[in-house]
Structure 1
Amino acid sequence: MTPPTKSQDRFTEILDRLSEKSVADHYNPYTHFAWPDSLPDDAYWMSPSLLSIAGTEFENELTEQQKMALSKWESINFYSMNVHGIRELLNEVIDRVHTRGFEAASEFFHHFIGEENEHMWFFAEFCLRYGGKLYSTLRLEGESEKDPDIANLLVFSRILLFEELVDHFNTTMANDELLHETIREINRMHHRDESRHIAFGRELVSMLFDRVRPALSDEQLAEIEAYLKGYVAMILDSFCSPVVYRDAGLGDIVGLRGKVVNHPGRLAAAKRAVRKPMSFFVKQGIFSDDTIPAI
């Protein structure tokens, strides 16, 4: 990979600032969080507006206790998605640290790797303590792109899209007084770290796209857009899980996932969840519009 065309000085300045912020904000997650023996079942574990049924008729048809049970298992599903997503994306970053073309970014990569490893730990800790398990997750076929510059763009675009979607959930739950303080603090601390990762990701994706754009055909650009939008759609669809509905005691509602997944209310909520990253990708010219395909 040859160096991107944008100002390397500006990029280096941003990286230095973010690295300094990582050092200043450092905390020990293994001692920071208070882990109560249990969390109350008669309370929300996820903000009601983030539940998969938000905006659908099931918001009014389910009892408060049913919605609280759903919030418990959808929170376990959300944190499980984080564990699996972080693990896969960490592997991609580790493959690139101290490699040609990423000399300037490698110091920040070390902060990124350390912080994401800690995030993976405390999300898994939450799931295992309070749910007794991690849910499995869907996986999108990895890009088989032979051009290393395009492969780098796809990898870091996926990281950015994932982080920005997760951050929408984090900021909502961190500020939700309905939730237990342990839940709010996990989301609060994750958001604090992710704000740096997102700032870095936006700069890097912009630079990587500037590097490859002149050589891309319209067909290649469309393929990149389709691949990344498919990734977004896969993550959003993973929030509507029949296994989660079963664990929440809603398994006797026939065809619940089918009724929820393509419901206009849920689709509107999903679009709000990815509004910021979709707007960024459209502004950069990577996406032609902000539509999300159905899976």
Structure 2
Amino acid sequence: MEGLTRGKDMGASVSADTAEFRALLEKLSDKATADYYNPYTAFDWPEVIPTDDFWMSPELLTVHGTEMMDVLTPEQLRALSRWESVHFYSLNVHGIRELLIEVMRRIHTPGFETPSEFFHHFVGEENDHMWFFATFCLRYAGKIYPDKKLKLPEVPRDAAIENFLVFVRILVFEQIVDHYNVRLAGDERLHTTIRHLNRLHHQDESRHIAFGRRLVQLLWEQLVAAGIDAPTRRETSNYVDRYITTSMESFYNPAVYRDAGIADGYALRQRLIAHPARQGAHDRVLHKTMDFLTRIGVLDAGW
């Protein structure tokens, strides 16, 4: 990790204070104001959500495309959809907590003067999201699944590289989640509360993603302009690739399989992660993210 730990100081600023960037931030801030809703009054939480309905689209289940779709009974598939739904919202709670901490560390600090105004919209909306995802889990499942995602090794890095990696992680997380939001919001087989939850989240995330893509590109361009060396660039790319992989693998939770009444969840997790159909499903989820990171030069072509 020498390139990341002892590379040339790249500087920590988001210095691209361009008219184009400011115009984007102003547009997104105006849209955030226009789209504002009170999360505490936006939901008419029902007493129960029927357990004999799907809570997650079958096509989004971690067993979809594998022989397990035929092995599991209809009752088991519905139970799995219920617990994978709760797990998905639990992942959102943990992911939002992480990104809020990182953004709050940077708001109104040197180098982040330009995006700080939009950060206020971002922080407020993400806090709302964390509340309504947690509320869903606690109301209808009585729990939030613990955060079990594999943590990547922490190493000291140049501040500019750390800033870049923080906002790449946020962007990757948001684009993965948004892939599910769009499909869940449009699935008429699901309860209206589930669809409404995902529709509201997508409405806000579309702005966050537009902001995140531009910020990540600016931060990467600054690293390249500052002369990031080949070993550092390779290690940075490898870190991003590992983060993307662990993010997708976090969807496969043995505790979810246990709650759905499926035996030997740990072995099932390993079989599913390695299954060709699941790798194809990951590619579909990640397509926009990987294409963007390849286009700007963070990842190599042919991912």
Unaligned runs of 5+ in 2: 1-11
- Contact 2:152/2:243 (<8 A) preserved: no
Distance in 2 (alpha carbons) for counterparts of 1:79 and 1:176: 17
Q: For the structure 1 residues 254 and 206, does the alpha-carbon distance in structure 2 shift closer, same or farther, using more than 3 Å as the test?
A: closer
| Structure-2 residue corresponding to 1:257 | 269
In the TM superposition, residue 139 of structure 1 has moved relative to its aligned partner by 4.5
Q: For the structure 1 residues 142 and 252, does the alpha-carbon distance in structure 2 shift closer, same or farther, using more than 3 Å as the test?
A: closer
| Structure-2 residue corresponding to 1:19 | 29
| Structure-2 residue corresponding to 1:231 | 243
Identity across matched positions, percent: 50
| Structure-1 residue corresponding to 2:64 | 54
Q: Deviations over 1:240-277 (max 9, x none)?
A: 11110000011257832222111001111011111111
RMSD, matched Cα:
1.4
Structure 2 counterpart of 1:236, one-letter code: M
In the TM superposition, residue 218 of structure 1 has moved relative to its aligned partner by 1.6
- Contact 1:278/1:290 (<8 A) preserved: no
Distance in 1 (alpha carbons) for counterparts of 2:44 and 2:180: 21
SS of aligned partner of 1:274: helix
In the TM superposition, residue 142 of structure 1 has moved relative to its aligned partner by 6.3
In the TM superposition, residue 239 of structure 1 has moved relative to its aligned partner by 1.0
Q: For the structure 1 residues 139 and 276, does the alpha-carbon distance in structure 2 shift closer, same or farther, using more than 3 Å as the test?
A: same
Structure 2 counterpart of 1:91, one-letter code: I
Matching residue within 107, 123, 126 for 2:136: 126
Q: For the structure 1 residues 144 and 255, does the alpha-carbon distance in structure 2 shift closer, same or farther, using more than 3 Å as the test?
A: closer
Matches for 1:74-85 after TM superposition, within 5 Å:
74-85=84-95
User: TM-score, normalised to structure 1's length?
Assistant: 0.95
Matching residue within 256, 264, 267 for 1:244: 256
- Contact 1:143/1:154 (<8 A) preserved: no
| Structure-1 residue corresponding to 2:8 | none
Structure 1 counterpart of 2:232, one-letter code: Q
| Structure-2 residue corresponding to 1:270 | 282
- Contact 1:77/1:244 (<8 A) preserved: yes
| Structure-1 residue corresponding to 2:7 | none
- Contact 1:41/1:69 (<8 A) preserved: yes
Distance in 2 (alpha carbons) for counterparts of 1:256 and 1:116: 33
Distance in 1 (alpha carbons) for counterparts of 2:57 and 2:168: 27
Matching residue within 70, 77, 86 for 2:80: 70
User: TM-score, normalised to structure 2's length?
Assistant: 0.92
| Structure-1 residue corresponding to 2:197 | 186
Distance in 2 (alpha carbons) for counterparts of 1:283 and 1:254: 36
| Structure-2 residue corresponding to 1:157 | 168
Distance in 1 (alpha carbons) for counterparts of 2:145 and 2:252: 13
Matching residue within 194, 205, 222 for 2:234: 222
Distance in 1 (alpha carbons) for counterparts of 2:167 and 2:302: 19
* Large movers: runs of 4+ above 6 Å: none
In the TM superposition, residue 231 of structure 1 has moved relative to its aligned partner by 1.1
Q: For the structure 1 residues 156 and 143, does the alpha-carbon distance in structure 2 shift closer, same or farther, using more than 3 Å as the test?
A: farther
- Contact 1:242/1:251 (<8 A) preserved: no
In the TM superposition, residue 179 of structure 1 has moved relative to its aligned partner by 0.5
Q: How many residues align?
A: 290
- Contact 2:253/2:265 (<8 A) preserved: no
- Contact 2:137/2:143 (<8 A) preserved: yes
| Structure-1 residue corresponding to 2:5 | none
